[in-house]
Amino acid sequence: MINLREDLLEITNRLLRAGLNHGATGNCSCRDRDGFLITPTGVDSSNLTADMMVRMNFLDSTSQSESKFQPSSEWQFHQAILEKYPEMNAVVHTHSVFASTLSVLGQDIPAFHYMIAIAGGDSIRCAPYAMFGTKELSINILQAIHNRKACLLSNHGLVTMGRDLNEAYNIAEEVEHLARLFVEAKKIGKPKLLSKKEMDEVLSRFNSYGRQLKD
């Protein structure tokens, strides 16, 4: 049987090793039947163990009573995403440097590179600022991630979702890379954007590629 706690720990460690998260920042979750598992609050990622992952129930938003740890302070938006998108099973949140840098501008990332399509559309939206851990932030994220698999959080960081933890991780890694390219390009000029037609072609290719993988 797949051990979801171990999977969640592995993704947390990969985020740390890749430099996408540092210290106790960022958090991840994955669906677990009628609830989800999420990383605990205030624990340095390098000290995490599988048994520290906190199980939450969708029904009453409570954590498992036997857990010694409190869920990440961001559990609300993890729950909101997993409840709204039943086909999605994992959420990754980072404070990675370049995605966070762009989030400070409060602007969407436009189609300056075809790989923007990895997030599911011709832009990566930036959710308006709301304080961490609030319902308002969850609402802003649900709007910004609509028809996408990633969004920036204004003055904060990045959120991605996927059918599994690997997909959510891969999108986070790619969006961070794209954010870096965008920051670098803006230093030396005005990035040329792809047209809607060009992005539609990429998106349809990505969609058929996804179908082939599934077949």
Query: How many other CB atoms are found less than 10 A from the CB of residue 68?
Result: 8
- In whole angstroms, give the CA distance from residue 24 to residue 146: 28
- Under a CB-based contact definition with an 8 Å cutoff, are residues 147 and 121 in contact? yes
87 labelled catalytic = no
Q: Which residues contact 71 (CB under 8 A, 6 or more apart)?
A: 38, 40, 41, 54, 56, 63
- Under a CB-based contact definition with an 8 Å cutoff, are residues 165 and 11 in contact? yes
Q: Which of 163, 165, 174 is nearest to 213 (CA)?
A: 163
**Pairing mode of beta strands 150-153, 126-127:** parallel
- In whole angstroms, give the CA distance from residue 89 to residue 168: 9
List of E strands, 25-72? 27-32, 35-38, 54-57
Catalytically annotated residue among 10, 66, 74, 173: 74
Catalytic positions: 74
